[in-house]
Structure formats: structure tokens, C-alpha cells
Amino acid sequence: MTRSGQMPIATPEIYNEMLDRAKAGKFAYPAINVTSTQTLHAALRGFADAESDGIIQISTGGAEFLGGQYSKDMVSGAVALAEFAHIVAKKYPVNVALHTDHCPKDKLDGYVRPLIAVSKERVDAGQNPLFQSHMWDGSAETLKDNLAIGEELLAAATAARIILEVEITPTGGEEDGVTHEINDELYTTVDDALRTAEALGLGEKGRYLLAASFGNVHGVYKPGNVVLRPELLKDLQAGVAEKFGKPSPFDFVFHGGSGSTEEEIATALENGVVKMNLDTDTQYAFTRPVADHMFRNYDGVLKVDGDVGNKKVYDPRSWGKAAEKSMAERVQQACGNLRSTGTKLK
């Protein structure tokens, strides 16, 4: 069903079509991490302004934050924002897929597995899944154990009409407690890719997205500290294609995308990247106008020397609107960098 049918969130069919079009057209969707209803609206607004479909994702830390500091329940936090998104996304003229970001082994039972179960119940009742994809981050495990768990999760996800994302080798830096050193191990080999294809198949066992490593690092670092080699993705595609006879077999994900150069992004797109995660840059874009507001209105947001302050400037809406606008502009910029501007499904 197209957006004219007012489907609030992409159906499994539309999500697959989105990914297929990105692969064929050599563009990618920004995958924007959100932690609140306000950052969700900022992402939706950015996609709408760019006339681009997109992906919105919730990390384990984001879900814990959404669950509230009293219980910090990741599942209820993620489900609550997803249900909210299914309602409010109807007002935006784009297709949006909901995704969960990095989930390591010790959090699977408290996050991804229960969320897959929620979607399976919906699908069994004739509805669409709550989320459209989930990520299994087994990069801290041996590749053997990583792929064994990946096989189990892929089968469960496929039964719930969900796409799985797998990370087979480390991304440097730190995100939500998963930490990897920045070193020469941040590069996936052709052998790693072949073992992945042998374990997870190339579509016959269910669709998955592959987060391969080509020097990726979470966060933003000064020039020269990170050496990205997106041309490596071409070697991975070719190595697996040669053995299995399927051209360009992988749908790649670009992790650690904040701060990447336009040339690095372009090379990644040419080699099969269909999704690029963006978090650090959008966090800064959201927070920057808030800091500006607080500095400029110091004596209004605080009751200085017993004064009453100024309700108009400490009202969260006064700075929240500026934060949403700024983040939306950064999302729109990402759509341009990833060539997804103007590509929304009609």
C-alpha cells in the first residue's frame, strides 16, 4: 500500500521495496536514532522535508531511557515509542521503517527476542509487525557463535515478517556499552563474508542487512584518527558473488556514519550500502539550539536572586521547537548526502 492509503509505517512489502530501490539506485536511507517523541518528530520532519523515505531506530540505551528512569524497561520503552510512531507518522508524506539498533548477546532476552515475539503475535493476528527490522550485534563474540545466534534470530524474524541486521565484525569506539578498540581488526575479510553467506544464506533463509566493518568508528573523531576503506565492500561483494553466483549479494549498513566525508559515503553507496546510521551528528544538532537558548536566556530560565524568571523561556516548548527544527535540518542534509532526497515511494 502506498502513502495515499495512509499506512503510518512501512509494511514489510514496502520496506523490502525501499531497500531494493536503494540498492538499484545506489542511494541509502539515513537511519536516525531517536530517544523521545520530540526526536522522533524531528526525524520524520527531516525525511518529509527531503521527500525521502527513511529509517528510525531505537538503541538499547535509547529504549531504556524511553522506559523511564523508575523501571528502565527497554521493551516497554521501545514498544511505547513504536506505537506512538504508528499514529503520528500518518501525518508525514513519507514511508518510515522502525528498527532497533545495536543489541549485544547479554541484552537479547531483554530486548530483541521479546520485541520479535510482540511482532509475531501481531502477524499471527493478521496485522503487520510492530518493528520492521532488528539488529543483532554479535561483534563481541566469535564469528562462529555470532552466526549461530544469527541463524536462530533470522528464522524468528522471518516468521514475524521482520528483516534482521547483523554485525559480523567490530565497529570501533563505544555505543551503549559495546566497546571496541580502534585498530586493524576493524576490517571485515572476504572469508568473514563467505562464512556469513554459508550460515545465513543469501535470501533463501530470510532477508538480512549486513553491517560489515571497513574501519568504522562510532562517534566523531578528528581527521586522521579513523581510516575508512569503503572500497573494501566491493571486495566482499565480489568474493561472495564468485562462489555463490549471485551478483552484489549483500545489502550493507554503514555504521559510524557521523563525520564521514562525502567521498567516503559515495564509495560506500556504489558498493551496496542501503542504510547509514546517524546518531552523534543529530544529537549535537538537537542539543546545540537548546544550549544557545539557555545561555541567551540565563536570567529567564533560572529564578536568579529570588526573582520569578520568565515562564515563556523556561517552558520546554520554547527551546524544544528550535531543537526539533535543527535536528530535522540535519536529517534533511543526511538525505542529500546519501542521495535519497526526492526518492520517496509515491
Let me know: does 119 contact 153? Beta carbons within 8 Å. no
Alpha-carbon distance of 156 to 271, in angstroms, equals 29
Known catalytic residue: 281? no
Under the banding of pLDDT at 50, 70 and 90, the label for residue 3 is very low
Q: What is the pLDDT of residues 275-302, one digit of tens each?
A: 999 999 999 999 999 999 999 999 999 9
Tell me: pLDDT of 218 over 70.
Answer: no
pLDDT for the residue numbered 306: 84
At a CB cut-off of 8 Å and minimum separation 6, what does 73 contact? Answer: 64, 67
Strand partners, 165: 135, 209
At a CB cut-off of 8 Å and minimum separation 6, what does 269 contact? Answer: 26, 27, 28, 338, 339
Q: What is the pLDDT of residues 259-275, one digit of tens each?
A: 678 899 999 999 999 99
pTM given for the model: 0.92
Tell me: pLDDT of 98 over 90.
Answer: yes
- C-alpha cell at position 329: 535540518
Q: What is the pLDDT of residues 176-191, one digit of tens each?
A: 544 444 445 678 999 9
Of the candidates 325, 298, 338, the residue with the CA atom closest to the CA atom of residue 314? 298
Tell me: pLDDT of 153 over 70.
Answer: yes
Quote the mean pLDDT of the chain: 92
User: Which one is catalytic: 53, 101, 279, 281?
Assistant: 101
